[in-house]
Structure 1
Amino acid sequence: MLSFRRATLADVDALVPLVESAYRGDASRRGWTTEADLIDGQRTDAAGVAEVITAAKSAVIVAEQDGVLVACCHVAEEHGAGYFGMFAVDPGRQAGGVGRLTLAEAERVAAVEWGLPEMRMKVLTARADLIAWYVRRGYTQTGELVPFPYGDDRFGVPRRDDLAFELLVKRLG
């Protein structure tokens, strides 16, 4: 059974490798969310995870199955809407419904607990498969693009020079 809770600083050392394993390096290739062909380097670090755990109007949601950390995401209030990010599912458990349930929990927190009218996120435009997954869950592509932060190694080292994010939006409630 999958259960959810809010992360604490005690979770940072487990969250960083979970996020890295879902997106970077050879381990990420076991799942379908890998960015290994697009970006090298880190996806996040301990300081970044600790920052979003302790920030105001912010929570990191942890999904556990039989006491094992299997997924996480960051949800925050930004400009009167929910913001969804740092979404990671253990690559060996992807495509089994864990991600769908974790996204639904983030939407519940934003809508029910925080009373926010919509959820927003930024997804790499090169990830058409991931964008399609979000669209199937009610998100709309806005066409609004945000440039990739080239030169800031905190977000990884791009393998391509055409990376950008698209803003996706979903009405909640």
Structure 2
Amino acid sequence: MTSSTENPLQFTVQVLQPSQYQELKRTIYEIINVSFRSDDSWTNDRAFVNVNRIPINGEAEFDARCAEPNALLCAFDGDQIVGVIHILAQRNEALLNCLGVSPTHQSRGVGSLLIRESVKHIQENMPTIKEALVHVFESRHELTTWYVRMGFQDKGEVIPFPHGDILIVDEAPLAVLRYPIL
């Protein structure tokens, strides 16, 4: 384990090493998928797409994207994974994606802890990164508001959803929210 941080809520966050990832990846896929597909999750995207966030045929691609210099952080409640976030380094930016929190642990500070620890990891380990960014369905105002409270800036930047073949709506543009890395 390269990093382990505790918070007052007793959740810990770890940057997973490749061996840990291999051991835990099924649980990681499940956390990510349930957080985006469950009716119990306030972050579900079922109104926009009709597939799991990490479909079975996409697991190898996700596995490859978890290799260095990228990072995968997991939040634990004891020894149980309750949250995940992926950092994808791209030139001087880092895309924070696949932020997933188990519906049983949502609204308990796990997501904000993962965001804070991701920013800290970028600051300490990715010196060329100047901004972290997230993509949020533009119509999901409650998610945009949450990220803005976390320190992200919404400057009105919008991009098309890159996987139009899985949309169940005509279009679902993504708002690009940016967080300056100091």
- Calculate the TM-score normalised by the size of structure 1: 0.88
Q: Give runs of aligned pairs for residues 118-157 of structure 1, distance below 5 A.
A: 118-148=131-161, 149-151=163-165, 157=166
- Distance in structure 2 (CA, Å) of the matches to 1:114 and 1:145: 26
Q: Give runs of aligned pairs for residues 44-55 of structure 1, distance below 5 A.
A: 44-45=54-55, 46-54=59-67
Q: Give runs of aligned pairs for residues 27-106 of structure 1, distance below 5 A.
A: 28-45=38-55, 46-54=59-67, 56-106=68-118
| Aligned residue in 1 for 2:27 | 14
Matching of residue 161 in structure 1 with residue 170 in structure 2: yes
Matching of residue 4 in structure 1 with residue 17 in structure 2: no
Q: Deviations over 1:62-86 (max 9, x none)?
A: 1111100000000122121222101
3-state SS, counterpart of residue 40 of structure 1 = coil
3-state SS, counterpart of residue 100 of structure 1 = helix
| Aligned residue in 2 for 1:108 | 120
Kept in 1: contact 2:157–2:175 (CA 8 A): yes
| Aligned residue in 1 for 2:5 | none
Kept in 1: contact 2:72–2:87 (CA 8 A): yes
Shift of 1:6: 2.5
Higher relative contact order (CA 8 A, sep 6+): 1
- Distance in structure 2 (CA, Å) of the matches to 1:97 and 1:32: 14
Stretch of structure 1 that moved more, 114-123 or 84-93: 114-123
Q: Would you identify which runs of 4 or more consecutive aligned residues in structure 1 move more than 6 Å? A: none
3-state SS, counterpart of residue 164 of structure 2 = coil
- Distance in structure 2 (CA, Å) of the matches to 1:6 and 1:127: 29
Unaligned runs of 5+ in 2: 1-9
Kept in 2: contact 1:12–1:49 (CA 8 A): no
Count of aligned pairs: 164
Shift of 1:117: 2.5
- CA RMSD, 1 decimal: 1.4
Unaligned runs of 5+ in 1: 152-156
Shift of 1:170: 0.9
Kept in 1: contact 2:137–2:172 (CA 8 A): yes
Kept in 2: contact 1:145–1:164 (CA 8 A): yes
3-state SS, counterpart of residue 63 of structure 2 = helix
- Calculate the TM-score normalised by the size of structure 2: 0.84
